[in-house]
């Protein structure tokens, strides 16, 4: 058995590769996938470890109970989505399998990455401006490659924007059509249940923070540092200057 020929029972799982930069909404998207698909996982080091279990404590168990249900008459179709085809957050690379790419506006992405690293994992950042320079460089390199991959293989690539994913269940409809399965729950139902505040526990959270794309704009100290960093324009990635 290998990830390339992964059977669940007697059925061969459909497979897609998945690429996303840190803090672009992967865990939100995977909540959506839980409602849409019969997800199966090849044994790996990223499922069931203490960090993953601790993250789950911040989720609303009632929401995830609902997302594991199935509408009457929907056939079982196992789907294996490889979340680390080039390692965790590895650079997108053309391969044998269709690819799903998740992207988010770089500014809230980098802001969320910084605060999650320092507040959840206790990272020490003696020079925040240098850290921001490097983070924006990594983001740019990742998505320049990701969008090049999507352009090279348009029929075998699906680009999902976090902002559109949160706003419109039609994005989930396109996702299941791309994979080629009937969703086990309607995209509209899944979109409603995965509203960020509905799918998380009330109170303070250190991993599922807020899913807010605007908070970075109101942080005066961050804005001052960002002016020094001057990361440039991201219009080519679909995010023109604010």
Domain residues of the chain, as ranges?
A: 3-237
Question: What is the three-class DSSP state of 47?
Answer: coil
Pairing relationship of beta strands 14-20 and 7-8 according to DSSP bridges: unpaired
Give the pTM: 0.89
pLDDT of residue 51: 62
Place domain 3-237 in its CATH homologous superfamily.
P-loop containing nucleotide triphosphate hydrolases (3.40.50.300)
Let me know: does 55 contact 27? Beta carbons within 8 Å. yes
Cβ burial of 3 (10 Å; 0-12, 13-18, 19+) is: middle
Interval 115-166: pLDDT, tens: 989 988 788 999 999 999 999 999 999 999 999 999 999 999 999 999 999 9
Burial state string for 78-90 with b = 16 or more CB within 10 A and e = fewer than 16: bbbbbbebeeebe
Residue 63's Cβ-side half-sphere holds a number of Cα atoms within 13 Å equal to 23
pLDDT range class, residue 88, cuts 50, 70, 90: confident
């Amino acid at each position: 058995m290998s990830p390339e020929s992964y059977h669940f029972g007697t059925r061969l799982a459909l497979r897609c590769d998945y690429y996303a930069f840190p803090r672009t909404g992967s865990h939100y998207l995977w909540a959506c996938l839980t409602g849409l698909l019969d997800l199966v996982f090849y044994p790996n080091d990223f499922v069931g470890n203490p960090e993953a279990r601790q993250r789950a404590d911040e989720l609303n168990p009632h929401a995830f109970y609902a997302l594991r249900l199935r509408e009457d008459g929907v056939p079982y179709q196992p789907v294996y989505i490889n979340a680390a085809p080039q390692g965790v957050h590895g650079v997108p690379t053309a391969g044998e399998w269709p690819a799903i790419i998740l992207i988010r506006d770089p500014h809230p992405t980098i802001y969320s990455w910084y605060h999650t690293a320092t507040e959840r994992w206790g990272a020490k950042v003696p020079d925040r401006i240098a850290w921001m320079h490097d983070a924006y460089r990594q983001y740019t390199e990742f998505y320049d490659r990701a969008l090049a991959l999507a352009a090279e293989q348009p029929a075998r690539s699906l680009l999902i924007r976090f902002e559109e994913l949160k706003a419109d269940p039609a994005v989930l409809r396109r996702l299941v059509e791309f994979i080629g399965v009937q969703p086990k729950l309607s995209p509209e139902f899944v979109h409603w249940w995965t509203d960020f505040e509905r799918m998380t526990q009330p109170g303070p959270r250190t991993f599922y923070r807020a899913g807010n794309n605007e908070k970075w704009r109101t942080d005066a100290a961050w804005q001052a540092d960002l002016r020094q960093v001057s990361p440039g324009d991201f219009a080519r990635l679909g995010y023109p200057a604010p």
